[in-house]
Amino acid sequence: MTQAPEKKPVTLADIARAAGTSPSTASRAISGRGYVAADVRDRLLEAADRLGYVPNASARTLKHRTSRVIGVVVSDLGNPFYARLAAGIEQTLREVDYQMVILGDNSDGDEEVAAARTFLAMRAPGVILTPVGTAATRLLRSHGVAVVEVDRLLANVPCDAVVTDNEGGARDATELLLELGHRRIALLGVATTWTTDAGRLKGYRAALKSHRVAYDKNLVLRFPVHDGNAQARIGRLLDEEAPTAVFAANNQLAQQAWFALRERGLHIPGDVSLVAFDDVPWMEMVEPGITAVAQPTFAIGRRAAQLLLRRLDEPDLEPAVERLEPSLLVRGSTGTAP
Amino acid sequence: MTQAPEKKPVTLADIARAAGTSPSTASRAISGRGYVAADVRDRLLEAADRLGYVPNASARTLKHRTSRVIGVVVSDLGNPFYARLAAGIEQTLREVDYQMVILGDNSDGDEEVAAARTFLAMRAPGVILTPVGTAATRLLRSHGVAVVEVDRLLANVPCDAVVTDNEGGARDATELLLELGHRRIALLGVATTWTTDAGRLKGYRAALKSHRVAYDKNLVLRFPVHDGNAQARIGRLLDEEAPTAVFAANNQLAQQAWFALRERGLHIPGDVSLVAFDDVPWMEMVEPGITAVAQPTFAIGRRAAQLLLRRLDEPDLEPAVERLEPSLLVRGSTGTAP
DNA sequence: CTGTTAGCGCGTTCAG
DNA sequence: CTGAACGCGCTAACAG
């Protein structure tokens, strides 16, 4: 590593000296706030450019007592759902020159709180998170940090949120199956009290009820969060309960259900129909395509960032909960009941 | 938003006062560096806890003249390749309490440089990037910032790098096709001078040569970076050149090739074999599965972060270029030539 | 072992 | 329109 002149970073004082002014004038010229004679400004800007001046964000943050960093905490960046969410957030923030720092929490409440502390330390004015518990949001809010909860809504303190209409989406999906004549519809869900899972279950039950189909709890399986080993249990359900349709409440469970069906040589939709909540690329590519409740993931990210930015502008607005409508993409995996 | 007591953040001075010591003693107690009597320390820690003290990262950064933020710049977080890379980096950094700030650059050199400036402003000690040009790396290095280039290696200044063995991977893939009797093998690549694309093309040509098959430039298509509209051109190639196999040099081109094949009702591998560089989930799920050169994406991210951390420890090490071996996953999409 | 002093780089008074 | 002075919160030196 021969490079690295290690020359200590140039400061406002340096460029002030180079231009023969005081540091305060240099500050005004660079930040563009406050009066400064045109010719002096030009001289200063030229000097800054020539010396390769880069403002020190920490000094600014220290002075302003707030940074331009927005914290984002998701369960798992490797999951395409969270990745697209993050992509939407990042794009929106970058347009207005905010930076996104991402922390993962593995769906663990303690790690989520640790992430919140980190963002407090960074003096982030706002945080976007897919909540795992209520502690992190409460902590952040109690320090005056704006919070937007995404995907799920758990907060017991005032904060904004952007969520999908889980109940509506699940109802539509279940009704599609009911209208195709299915009566034994398995539900694969997650065992949490999160609004996502609760909403999807609720929608499922509502659809059954409106079609006067009894709720059979043997057809409902609930897994730990992000359970990578759900396939065996799903397989057992297929063997023992012989559902004619399966509704998987997230993309991971859908994938494992799909493998379980294939493993058994069960034909989709001939033997069993399959519907997924949350559309991901492979669902369009397999044969037959998987009918899915598509969430506008990228848009959710964008919207969350917008809500946060608005909140930073006007802290006293009423908390807003935006409920985005998912759309049911009917593909080949749903057919009439055998 | 009734919450937000807006009480100004508690500082070391506050907890020092609460415990009846001086700020420096408080500092030593909290940071754990320097002598401090056990009972005094306990008193201090208790006070910090009680008052909800959160250290101010900016003040520390200002003092230390370096932060615990590592910059990461990728082309597009929405692409699963970059997302998994980021996931690997984030996980590794979090273990040692560094934060990752991600910026996207849409494969644009100017945006990449802008990202670099942002990281300079944040006094990030290191940056990991999938380089688009040489300017950003040069700028960062000239300010003494450690840089690890990932996926591609463009730097003309000393820096570490983690790349896939593109040439070897492409050679293996092409040889598989040649051994299956294919002679008209189309190559879908990207029109850059990046080592990824150059390496893959080189591997393709090397394989052809070793099998004494002439290189036919009509079979080679090169697209703009992240071209979402490649499908039509691919379709035309299929129509006009009738290749018996297609080697797509990245996951996006593979996806578009796959759709183009399906659109024409061409059977895989009966009519045309397909191989992809970069394995993504759908390739295992479609029928037949797509033979792919799998990169250890997550591991590349981890390795890049490790290399960076090592460099921060020992700045004077020789620049290291790690070349990770991809593995060829043979699935159903490759068959004997018609 | 502890307190005092000083300064990291910037922006914001407040005089001039 | 400009500069001098101060302080944001923390920590490294240096006395004590």
Give pLDDT tens digits for B285-337: 998 999 999 999 999 999 999 999 999 999 999 999 999 999 999 999 999 99
**What percentage of chain A reaches a pLDDT higher than 90?**
91
* Average pLDDT, integer, range A219-246: 95
- Torsion angle of C-alpha atoms B52, A101, B68, A63, degrees rounded to 10: -60
Closest nucleotide to residue B63 (Cα to C1')?
A: C8
A231 within 8 A of A264, measured Cβ to Cβ: no
Paired with A162 in beta bridges are A150, A322
Q: Which pLDDT value is given to residue B1? A: 39
* Average pLDDT, integer, range B42-70: 94
CA atoms of B143 and A178, how far apart (whole Å): 64
Asked whether the beta carbons of residue B122 and residue A57 sit closer than 8 angstroms, the reply is yes
Closest nucleotide to residue B19 (Cα to C1')?
A: C2
**Per DSSP, which regions of A208-285 are E strands?**
220-223, 245-248, 273-277
Roughly what angle, to the nearest 10 degrees, separates helices A80-95 and B80-95? 90
pLDDT of residue A4 exceeding 60: no
A330: number of Cβ within 10 Å: 12
Spell out which residues of chain B touch residue A287, defining contact as CB-CB under 8 Å: 286-287
pLDDT of residue A15 exceeding 50: yes
Interatomic CA–C1' length for residue A54 and nucleotide C14, angstroms: 28
Q: Which pLDDT value is given to residue B34? A: 81
Give the list of residues 6+ apart from residue B213 with CB closer than 8 angstroms, or none. Answer: B178, B183, B185
Spell out which residues of chain B touch residue A286, defining contact as CB-CB under 8 Å: 282, 285-287
B147 within 8 A of B125, measured Cβ to Cβ: no
Asked whether the beta carbons of residue A84 and residue B78 sit closer than 8 angstroms, the reply is yes
Tally of CA atoms within 13 A in the half-sphere of B107 that contains its CB: 13
pTM of the model: 0.90
**pLDDT, tens digit, 9 for 90 and up, residues B250-289:** 999 999 999 999 999 999 999 999 999 999 989 999 989 9
Question: What is the overall mean pLDDT for chain B?
Answer: 94
Which residues bind near strand C, taking a CB cut-off of 7 Å? A 8-9, 11-13, 23-24, 27-28, 30-31, 33-34, 55-56, 59-60, 62-64; B 20-25, 28, 34-38, 40-41, 59, 62-63, 65
Angle at B109 between CA B103 and CA B113, to 5 degrees: 60
Nearest CA in chain A to B258: A285
For D6, which residue's CA is nearest its C1'?
A: A63
Nearest CA in chain A to B81: A78
pLDDT of residue B2 exceeding 60: no
Roughly what angle, to the nearest 10 degrees, separates helices A38-51 and A12-19? 120
Distance, CA of A96 to chain centre: 19
Cα of first residue to Cα of last residue in chain B, in angstroms, is 69
A104 within 8 A of A77, measured Cβ to Cβ: yes
Asked whether the beta carbons of residue B103 and residue A90 sit closer than 8 angstroms, the reply is yes
Question: What is the overall mean pLDDT for chain A?
Answer: 94
pLDDT of residue A186 exceeding 80: yes
Per-residue pLDDT band for A328 (boundaries 50, 70, 90) equals very high
Angle at B96 between CA B90 and CA B100, to 5 degrees: 30
For residue B326, give both structure tokens: 């991809």
Interatomic CA–C1' length for residue B131 and nucleotide D12, angstroms: 38
pLDDT of residue B129 exceeding 70: yes
* Average pLDDT, integer, range B239-245: 97
Closest CA to A121 of A140, A135, A99: A140
Which one-letter amino acid corresponds to residue A173?
A
CA atoms of A132 and A193, how far apart (whole Å): 10
Q: Which pLDDT value is given to residue A252? A: 93
For residue B338, give both structure tokens: 């018609």
Nearest CA in chain A to B146: A4
Asked whether the beta carbons of residue A255 and residue B122 sit closer than 8 angstroms, the reply is no
Spell out which residues of chain B touch residue A103, defining contact as CB-CB under 8 Å: 90, 94, 99-100
